[in-house]
Amino acid sequence: MPNSDLLPSLLLKINQIQLALEAAIMELTLWVEQRGSGEVGGNVRGALATISKNEEFINVTLAVLMTPK
């Protein structure tokens, strides 16, 4: 398998890791907010919004890279 064929798979795995981290951080955010730290929760949610905003672009790009030529 040429190295160029590995790139889409690598990017897919990195995206999966990113989404798993987002989910884990959101769980911690909910826990923190339940304990009265709304400001911290808001800050974290703001940072996580960046992941969400870029998710569609990442998915479209991966679909293009994974499409057989």
> Does residue 29 lie in a domain region?
yes
Residue for token pair 């400001």: 39
More confident residue, 4 or 66: 66
pLDDT of residue 46: 92
pLDDT at 67: 83
Name 15's Cβ contacts closer than 8 Å, sequence gap at least 6.
Answer: 58, 59, 62
| Residue whose tokens read 């911690």 | 28
- Model-level pTM? 0.74
In a domain, 49, yes or no: yes
Q: Are 41 and 33 in contact (CB under 8 A)?
A: yes
Assigned domain for 36 exists:
yes
How many domains is the chain built from? 1
Band (pLDDT 50/70/90 cuts) for residue 1 is low
20-48 tens-digit pLDDT: 999 999 999 999 999 998 899 999 999 99
